[in-house]
Structure formats: C-alpha cells, structure tokens
Structure 1
Amino acid sequence: MAFSTLLICRFLLASLGCLAAGLAVWALTAACRRHLPQVAAQRSTWLLGQLTIIATFLALLLPHSERLRLLPAIELPETMLAAPAAPDHATTPAQGGAMADGHGAAADYRAWLSYGAQAWLSLYLLGLAYTTGRVLQSHRTLNGLAATGERLVLPGRHQGLDAVTPPPSLAVIEVDAPISPMLFGWFRPRLLLPRHLRSFEPLQQQMIVEHELTHLRRHDLQWMSAGIVLQTLLWFNPFMRLLRANLAWAQELGCDRDVLRNRPPALRKAYAAALVEQLRLQPHPVTQSAKTALAFGGVSARTLATRISLIREPAAAPRGPWARGAAVAGLAGVFAASLAFQPALADRAPAQAAAPATFSCTDMVDAASGAQLLRDGHCDERVTPASTFNIAVSLMGYDSGILRDAHSPNLPFKPGYADWNPDWRATTDPTSWIRNSTVWYAQQVTASLGAQRFRQYVRAFGYGNLDVSGDPGKDNGLAMSWIASSLKISPAEQTAFLRKIVNRQLPLSAHAYDMTARLTALGALPNGWQIHGKTGTASPVLADGSDDRRHSYGWFVGWASKGGRTVVFSRLVLDDTQESAAGPRTRDAFLRDLPAQLDAL
C-alpha cells in the first residue's frame, strides 16, 4: 500500500479515535456538571475538553505515538518494501516451491479500505469547507445587521450606557430587530442593542449592557474564537459542538456572576425578569448563526432556567484547587487512554500466504548501545537456523579466501547435489547463492573449510549451541548441521550475533564484512531505512527423528540502517502450514510492519 494511502487510512483511524475520546470527555464533563457544578461553570473546563479531543486527533496522526499503543495493529495487506532484491526461494526440502500469490481477496480488501479512507477524506474536506462557509456567512449576516443600525456616539443617547463607559474602540450600534443585546466581532468588537431595550427599566438596561461589556473585559471573544475554530476543524464530532455550547453557557454564567456580585436581591430579581422579557420579545431570533459567528448575549430558553436559578440563588464559592485539578487530571487521563488504546495500521501478507502462527518472536536491538528496543514472544527458544546460517557461511568463506567477490567462485551444478528447489539446478555464484538459498553451494564452502576450521569459526562466532556434529550417527555436520539438525540458535542469540557483525567485533577480515553486507542488501524502505537480511525455512523434527510435515519454521534476520543508526532484528515464526516457503512469508510480513516499528523507536 502506498505511503500516501497509509496516511489517509491513519486519518480515518484518527477520526474514529477522536470520536471515542469525545465520548469519554463528554461523559467526564457531564459528570462535573452534575456533581461539581462550580467546576462546570468555569469556561476553562469546556475549552480544555475541546483541546483534549483535538489533541487526541492530532496525536493519532503521528506515527511516534504508536510506541504508547497497547492494542494490536490493524493489519493491511501488501508489501512496504520500496526496492527489494530479487525474491528469495525455498531453502529446505520440505519447503520447495514459490510463495503463493494471494492477491485476489486481499486486493479487494485493500481496495475497499483505500476507497473508504479516501472517501472519508473527501467528505471531511467538503464538510470543513461547508462549516467554514457557514461561520463566515454568519459573520457577514451580523455585519449586515450592524450596517442597518444607528451608531450611538454621544453621551446620553441610551439609558443603558448612563452608568457604564464602554471602551472608545467599541462601536455601540442600535438596531430595529428582535434580537438580544449582543457583542460580536473577531477583530473589531461591536455591541448591538435592540431598539426594544429602551422599554426596559433603566437599571435593567444598565445591567444588560454591563453584562455584554463584561464579556469584552473577560476576553470571551477570544475564548469563543478558539472554541469555534476547534469545532470547525472537527465538524463531524458531535461532542465538539456540545462542549462549545457549554463553553458559551459557562461564559454567560460567568458574566452574570460578575454583573450581580454584591447586588441586592431586588436587583437580581429585576435582572432575571429582564432576561425573561427579552426571551419573549425575540420570538424569531435573527438566526442561530449569532452563536456560530462569535456573538454573545443571545437569550436561550434552554439555558435561561439555569441562569435564573443561579441569579436568584448564587452558587457556593468555587471549591478548592483539588476540584479543578481532578477535572484536569481526568481530561489528561482521557488523552493518555486514547493513545494507549489507539487503533493503528500495519501491513502484513495476504491471508492466503500468512498462515496462523503457533508461536513467534520479534527481537530488535540497537546495534550501537545494545539497548533492547522490542522483544515479543518466545525469543529464547533455540531452533534450527536453516538458511539464515548462510550469513555465517558467507563470513567464513570470504575470510578464508574460498569466496572471492560477488560472482566468484562460479560453481556448476552437479548430479547428486541438493536439488530440492529447481532454481538450485544451475551454475551458482555467491550472489545467486544468497538470493536462492542454494544449499549445495553452502555445502561446498563448508567442505572446503574442513571440519576443524568450520568448528573453530562457529565457536569464534559464539553461534547458538555451537553443535555442528550433525545428525546422530551420520557424520554430516559439515553438510547438514544447520538444516533441522544439531546446530540450534534462538532469536535473541541471532540478534546478538548480528550485532557483532554490524559492529565488526568478530576476528574476521574487512573484506568478509563488506561482501556479506553486499550479498544481504535488500534495498530501502519507504521511510529511508536500508535493509540487510536473510530468510530461512525448515521443518521441525519430531521425537522419532522425522520431519513434521504439518508445521514450518520461518526465519528472517538482519539489520536496518539510517542516518548513522543501525537496528538489528530477528523474526521467527512457527507456522502450522507448509503450503509455501515460511521464510519468505515471514520476511514479507515483517517488512510490512517494519516502517511503522522503526518510526516508533
């Protein structure tokens, strides 16, 4: 799957993740409103709720957040390797044949997933454009309404302004429309006063105007702007709208509280009566856009009862810092849980090719420091190295001079050589040997070394259990010890051996290191990491000494390098199928997950 498509799929998962975070945030803030009304009446509670949701959305878009993930990745079929070497083939007699294709149903699945993610991105962009357009249109509507009014510039032109002095920069405009007094304007605040406000008692007029000016002093326009922007960005999330509406509610309560502070009960009652009368005089509000265009002061029947209740009986003093701290900690917990249980993408082989594993291990270590980056599964269990041992044979061959360069010696196939794979029945050089895992070529190298020198190399490498005796009673250690026989190694020991190679800590020539790295080079991943590796495939051996035809070991070991950093890795899978070579299947599945894993390290 293309890297751009993966990003689009990640956007889809981030959208779903922020919906789940929105539900959790709304449940938490609703609990605050029920049990901690003093905390819920603070505007910061609702804006922080919106910020938590959008922070979750943005964090889920970042690949590095996956290091905190506890859920398994959602696997996507198709390779992620940008420029691999020629395909590897079966390495043992039990695993002859090419790897199954499996592109039918997997391709359909991949196509549907890709189309769905692209459709969602298109829908999101359309919705974003529509929502942004509505906000701008609402703002234009209020500007048009203000243009029809009369600006009050002289003292004494309105009784509501007698006891208060608006800032010189604030334009006060009187309009002949059934609206509530409202403050609006992102960059150039204006106060709209309906003409019918003159019918109120002078003190009522003054408190209502003071309420709007309190919004200005508290910088509520900026708070509302932030809420509107966040809601617009996540227009599809209903919880963003609910939180933004409660932010406006908390701001209205805050202004009521400031206006009525130290006022006698009679004035509180008059103020509440003014709100009720205002609601009666605006049976058909200008438009709901007054709220979406950063306007304050609209009297809503839905919130009026709460406001009047708090006006008549002021709430108790806000609780101590612990209450606010608990609310903030709860929102932080929602954010952390969203990251821990986030959905994530990883590629894998098609279902036809990747059979269920009865056990597996993934081991990744920083080559320079030796720090353990990932260990998952049965990583200390020793099994046959199969053709991954060709890395060791390559080092031996080039160090001893038996192998000279990438294409010599060039050895012809002879009758009697291992020919379980048709590709082996051909003249072979070091490059094709590593590519095809040609057993007889490795056997020619070890035969040229001789048993004593072969054993010395294995011991110098510290390779697995060091046992190169071969099958009991058959004296075939030089030819078969690493193929379902006496020599065994664990994934953890594989990574330790590879780390010695990368750091050149073995008693070998530089030529041996250079040529082995050249033969094992597989190309680059889309994120720029250069990959070196080798597969291996073998059947487990049953207690009676026969091959287990129902299971198959699949190895892929090697290292990845980028920008001066190298990570060695070992992947082992025990499959319950022998339909195709387990080593190449293990390699392909691992390489599909590897870009995301390396980005997360």
Structure 2
Amino acid sequence: MSHFLFHVFSLLFLAGQVVAQKQTEEKELGAVFEKHGLEGCFVVLNPVTSILHVYNPARAARGFLPASTFKIPMALMGLDTGTVKDVDEVIPYGGTKEWLKDWERDMNLKEAMKLSNVAIFHQVARRVGMDRMQECLRLFDYGNQQTGDDVGRRYWLEGPMAISALQQVDFLRRLTGGEIPLKKRTLESVKEITLYESQGGATIYAKTGWSGSTGQQVGWWVGWVEKDGRNFPFALNATVPTMAVAKKRIPVALECLAALWIWNVE
C-alpha cells in the first residue's frame, strides 16, 4: 500500500507533557470499510517509525463512549489495587437484571472478559470505588476522565465518559510501553484475559465494545499486536446499529492491519 505522509501532528498528552507524533492518512483503507459496509475509522501506531496510520482522521479525533473497551482499564485497576485478587477470583454479579441472561451469574475475570459481562465489571468498578477510579483515570490519562459522581451509574456505557480512537491508541501505547506504573503481574494478567489470537510469531490482545444507549451506536475493537518484540496499538471505531454490523468490527480491523503489513489475514 502506498502512503501519503502528511506533516500533521497529533497532540498526545503524557504526564502533563505534549508528545507530537506524525500521522499518515491511510485513505486506501476506505476500500476495506466500503467492502464491509462499515462507517468508521482506524488508527494504528507503528513503534518502529513512531508514525500513526489513520483512516478517517476527523472521526478518529472525536470522543465516543468507550463501552466495553473500558473493561481493559477496569481490569487493570481491579487487579493492581488488589480489590480483585486475580483473574480466577469468582466475583458475585450483584443480582441485577441484565441485557444478556448469561451475565446474570457469578464468574471470574477470565470468563467475564470473554463474555463482556457488564454486571461483573460493574462490581469491579464498585470495589475500586469512585475516588480510586478517578485517581487511576488521571494516572492512565484515559479519555476525558469523566465518571460523574454515582458509582451505580455505568458511565462507560451511558456517559459522561468519552474517548477517541487516537486516545485509545495512546493509552495502549503507554500501557504496553511500561509508561503507566503498574505491577508487572497486572499487565500479564490482563494480557491473559484479552488474548485474541497468535500466528506466525505475532499475537493480538484486544477487546470489543458496543453501546447505543445514548443514540451514538458506537462500536469498537481496540488492542495491540505484539510482534518482533514490539507492540503495535490499534483502535477501530465504527457506527454499529445492529448485531450484524457489529460482527464486522474485527474482520475490518484485521484487514486494515494486514494492509499495513502488521498482521496476516489467512
């Protein structure tokens, strides 16, 4: 794929400092989105060149509900603070009525991440508590860092929390690069429960997200490719009005990664 390099800078914030990174706009990735009938954006950081490869930069800079992609930072918080012992600890779901019946049972973080169980992660958020949650969000420099004041509210699905695809990638860059002070075991545990696939010496760790409660109908797939000792953080954000459309998130992201020679689609 040919690339047209723009001398554009994405302003990313780290520990109060602005880090400028060059972007290249990957217009040709539009063909992948069009083939699947998906409207959205894609961002991936190449750690070798320090260049952000971006499709649909206007959307990539816009904040959306993080939806279930917020389960990555929530798992980090729960495990690192010790409010969740480990990924095998069985967590009571709280007795709430949920969108999926399968969420209405106790389970550990391994299964909860696989099933994207909102009830279990809501209990993790309650255990962490609002004060520590907000402290962690500042430490992570995660999105707009807004939770509101009600621990009973699922702010990652309903607002006021918001994050852009560019911010997702920067958060994952700092996470995988060891720039966020966490116990080594914490990141290894989260890698264990977000493992998507390994092939040819490369591994993807990722999490989907989907929320339409505010009418935004936003869908995500965010994570990183670990390859040749380096991490390539990525984020796909798309308009997802139905389950049929939601199923296109991962194939589109994988094809975008393949087009940029980061992953092989077999």
Which TM-score bucket, shorter chain as reference?
0.7 to 0.9
User: Cα offset for 1:452?
Assistant: 0.8
Structure 2 residue matching 1:483: 3-state secondary structure? helix
* Structure 2 counterpart of 1:457, from 115, 118, 136: 136
1:538 alignment partner in structure 2: 211
Structure 2 residue matching 1:560: 3-state secondary structure? strand
Deviation per CA, 1:194-247: give whole Å up to 9, x if none: xxxxxxxxxxxxxxxxxxxxxxxxxxxxxxxxxxxxxxxxxxxxxxxxxxxxxx
For residues 443 and 465 of structure 1, what CA distance do their matches in structure 2 show? 19
For residues 553 and 496 of structure 1, what CA distance do their matches in structure 2 show? 19
1:397 alignment partner in structure 2: 78
Deviation per CA, 1:146-177: give whole Å up to 9, x if none: xxxxxxxxxxxxxxxxxxxxxxxxxxxxxxxx
- Mapping 1:181-200, distance limit 5 Å: none
Deviation per CA, 1:243-272: give whole Å up to 9, x if none: xxxxxxxxxxxxxxxxxxxxxxxxxxxxxx
For residues 32 and 201 of structure 2, what CA distance do their matches in structure 1 show? 17
* Structure 2 counterpart of 1:495, from 169, 180, 191: 169
Are the structure 2 counterparts of residues 424 and 595 from structure 1 closer, same or farther at C-alpha, using a change threshold of 3 Å? Answer: same
For residues 380 and 594 of structure 1, what CA distance do their matches in structure 2 show? 19
Deviation per CA, 1:342-373: give whole Å up to 9, x if none: x99x8789x8xx5442xx2111113466x124
For residues 592 and 366 of structure 1, what CA distance do their matches in structure 2 show? 16
Q: Does 1:568 align with 2:233?
A: yes
Are the structure 2 counterparts of residues 428 and 366 from structure 1 closer, same or farther at C-alpha, using a change threshold of 3 Å? Answer: same
Are the structure 2 counterparts of residues 592 and 561 from structure 1 closer, same or farther at C-alpha, using a change threshold of 3 Å? Answer: same
For residues 586 and 368 of structure 1, what CA distance do their matches in structure 2 show? 26
For residues 233 and 262 of structure 2, what CA distance do their matches in structure 1 show? 15
For residues 579 and 355 of structure 1, what CA distance do their matches in structure 2 show? 14
Deviation per CA, 1:63-101: give whole Å up to 9, x if none: xxx2359xxxxxxxxxxxxxxxxxxxxxxxxxxxxxxxx
2:46 alignment partner in structure 1: 366
Matched AA of 1:519: I
User: Cα offset for 1:495?
Assistant: 0.4
Aligned structure 1 segments of 4 or more residues deviating by more than 4 angstroms = 346-349
Are the structure 2 counterparts of residues 399 and 599 from structure 1 closer, same or farther at C-alpha, using a change threshold of 3 Å? Answer: closer
User: Cα offset for 1:552?
Assistant: 1.9
Bigger Rg, structure 1 or 2: 1
Structure 1 residue matching 2:2: 3-state secondary structure? helix
For residues 386 and 427 of structure 1, what CA distance do their matches in structure 2 show? 21
For residues 540 and 419 of structure 1, what CA distance do their matches in structure 2 show? 14
- Mapping 1:78-477, distance limit 5 Å: 354-357=36-39, 360-367=40-47, 371-377=50-56, 378-408=59-89, 410-415=90-95, 417-469=96-148, 475-477=149-151
For residues 117 and 218 of structure 2, what CA distance do their matches in structure 1 show? 18
User: Cα offset for 1:482?
Assistant: 0.9
Matched AA of 1:476: D
What TM-score, normalized by structure 2, do the two folds share?
A: 0.80
Structure 2 residue matching 1:591: 3-state secondary structure? helix
1:591 alignment partner in structure 2: 254
Matched AA of 1:461: F
Are the structure 2 counterparts of residues 422 and 403 from structure 1 closer, same or farther at C-alpha, using a change threshold of 3 Å? Answer: same
Flag structure 2 segments of 5+ consecutive residues without an equivalent: 5-27
Matched AA of 1:531: I
Matched AA of 1:510: K
2:11 alignment partner in structure 1: none
User: Cα offset for 1:561?
Assistant: 1.3
Are the structure 2 counterparts of residues 579 and 398 from structure 1 closer, same or farther at C-alpha, using a change threshold of 3 Å? Answer: closer
User: Cα offset for 1:388?
Assistant: 0.3
Aligned residues with identical type, % of pairs = 25
Hey, which of these two has a bigger chunk of strand by percent? Answer: 2
- Mapping 1:506-517, distance limit 5 Å: 506-517=180-191
User: Cα offset for 1:412?
Assistant: 3.8
2:18 alignment partner in structure 1: none
What TM-score, normalized by structure 1, do the two folds share?
A: 0.37
Matched AA of 1:67: S
Calculate the aligned-residue CA RMSD, in Å.
Answer: 2.8
1:578 alignment partner in structure 2: 242
User: Cα offset for 1:594?
Assistant: 2.4
Deviation per CA, 1:365-421: give whole Å up to 9, x if none: 13466x12411111110010000001000110110112223311x124443x25101
2:224 alignment partner in structure 1: 559
For residues 521 and 446 of structure 1, what CA distance do their matches in structure 2 show? 22
Deviation per CA, 1:452-473: give whole Å up to 9, x if none: 111101111111111110xxxx
Structure 2 residue matching 1:569: 3-state secondary structure? strand
Flag structure 1 segments of 5+ consecutive residues without an equivalent: 1-65, 70-342, 470-474, 542-547
For residues 176 and 243 of structure 2, what CA distance do their matches in structure 1 show? 34
User: Cα offset for 1:436?
Assistant: 1.1
Hey, which of these two has a bigger chunk of helix by percent? Answer: 1
For residues 108 and 245 of structure 2, what CA distance do their matches in structure 1 show? 22
Matched AA of 1:572: N
For residues 487 and 393 of structure 1, what CA distance do their matches in structure 2 show? 13
Are the structure 2 counterparts of residues 368 and 448 from structure 1 closer, same or farther at C-alpha, using a change threshold of 3 Å? Answer: farther
Matched AA of 2:175: I
Structure 2 residue matching 1:468: 3-state secondary structure? coil
For residues 250 and 232 of structure 2, what CA distance do their matches in structure 1 show? 16
